[in-house]
Amino acid sequence: MKTSISPQDHARVLAEGLDIPQQQPSFALPLPEVGICGKTVWVRLPEGRIPFSARLEVNLAAQVRGIHMSRMEEVIAALYEQEFADLRDYGLQLGREMMARQGASVGRVRLTGQLPLIRTAVVSGRQSVDSIAVSLDLKLVGAGENLESVAMLGVGVAHITACPCTQAYNQTLFRKESDDCPLPTHSQRSQTTLSVQSSGFSPSIAELLACMEEALHVTQDLLKRTDEAQLVYTSHSLPQFAEDAVREVARRAGERFGRVLPPETLVAIDSLSLESIHIHDVCCRLETTLAEIVNHL
């Protein structure tokens, strides 16, 4: 496209004009979080180039009117071709550089997306190409060598829950002594997320996923009839409330990380049950420290 403004005119305006974001605001009040959101960033990870939805923020001093949005986009563009071993590595570099370009002392990087997960069905051995939800909430304070960061890495999975209440009722109503098959109850698709804080040792996505696979009846897309029968049987043999799902994930997190992470490590678990026989859904959340979980083991 042909430009209608000459390079000389652009250079003159840049030299003579005001940098409006750097001007004094009409009301000199510091703002703790200013940035861009709804931005898709592409991150090169071992799984490939993965899109994440980003919310990027820095603090703004009282005497500065606004941020330079283009400088955030410049950082994103500069990191596009780089490879990262871990999502936290990307978030840390992105946060450090955006803070430096904005002259900020506080930054926050929030990323949400999905990673591919290849699962193998228990009975048929068929492989299913599924996905897990991954999130990062990274807070940064300081600058240069004195930059401190704390990250919350989260992993979410889909799973099936079977209601213990209806099953217990049917057991009293219909049970015969010779029966060993679990009785019917309503079941629902559920989504549970485990997030663990890291500032030194960092639990991996695989380790967070393992906690949930040990605690939940994780589902997958490609299931043959034999696999479906096994999954339904298992979930009805060990029925769970949403509350059970959260508690069991917490138990596995305590067992796995209790001796390797600091006691004050923050752990957050969210579970959503999409109820099959109710119009409402069921939600359950736990936010606590690793020490509190370990105390209950």
Q: What is the pLDDT of residues 130-169, one digit of tens each?
A: 999 999 999 999 988 899 999 999 999 999 999 999 998 9
Q: Do 33 and 140 belong together in one domain?
A: yes
Q: Calculate the average pLDDT of the chain.
A: 94
The verdict on residue 208 lying in a domain is yes
Q: What is the mean pLDDT of residues 275-291?
A: 97
Q: 16 pLDDT exceeds 70?
A: yes
* Residues 253/196, Cβ–Cβ less than 8 Å: yes
In the chain, what percentage of residues exceed pLDDT 70? 98
Place of tokens 């589902």: 219
What was the pLDDT predicted at 176?
65
Q: Do 166 and 126 belong together in one domain?
A: no
* Residues 215/238, Cβ–Cβ less than 8 Å: no
For residues 255 and 168, the model is more confident at 255
Place of tokens 């009293």: 172
Q: What radius of gyration do the chain's Cα atoms show? A: 25
Q: Do 172 and 137 belong together in one domain?
A: no
Q: Do 136 and 44 belong together in one domain?
A: yes
What was the pLDDT predicted at 264?
94
Q: Quick count: other Cβ atoms within 10 Å of Cβ 155?
A: 25
The verdict on residue 91 lying in a domain is yes
pTM as predicted: 0.92
* Residues 211/194, Cβ–Cβ less than 8 Å: yes
Residue 265's φ and ψ, nearest 5 degrees, are -55, 130
The verdict on residue 162 lying in a domain is yes
What gap in Å lies between CA 215 and CA 58, rounded to an integer? 38
Q: Quick count: other Cβ atoms within 10 Å of Cβ 176?
A: 6
Q: What is the mean pLDDT of residues 187-208?
A: 92
In the chain, what percentage of residues exceed pLDDT 90? 84
Per the structure, the count of domains in the chain is 2
Q: Do 98 and 127 belong together in one domain?
A: yes
User: pLDDT tens, 94-113?
Assistant: 999 999 999 999 999 999 99
Q: 195 pLDDT exceeds 70?
A: yes
Please identify, among 113, 146, 179, the residue that sits at the C-terminal boundary of a domain: 146
Q: 114 pLDDT exceeds 70?
A: yes
4-8, 101-105, 176-180, 287-291: segment of lowest average pLDDT: 176-180
Domain CATH number, residue 271: 3.10.270.10
* Residues 136/198, Cβ–Cβ less than 8 Å: no
What was the pLDDT predicted at 207?
96
What was the pLDDT predicted at 60?
96
Q: Do 125 and 216 belong together in one domain?
A: no
Tokens, residue 252: 């596995």
The C-alpha angle with vertex 158 and arms to 273 and 286, in degrees rounded to 5, equals: 55
Please identify, among 146, 164, 184, the residue that sits at the C-terminal boundary of a domain: 146
Q: Do 295 and 158 belong together in one domain?
A: yes
What gap in Å lies between CA 287 and CA 270, rounded to an integer? 9
* Residues 215/252, Cβ–Cβ less than 8 Å: yes
Structural domain for 211, as ranges: 154-297
Q: 213 pLDDT exceeds 90?
A: yes
User: pLDDT tens, 33-58?
Assistant: 999 999 999 999 999 999 999 999 99
Q: Do 159 and 277 belong together in one domain?
A: yes
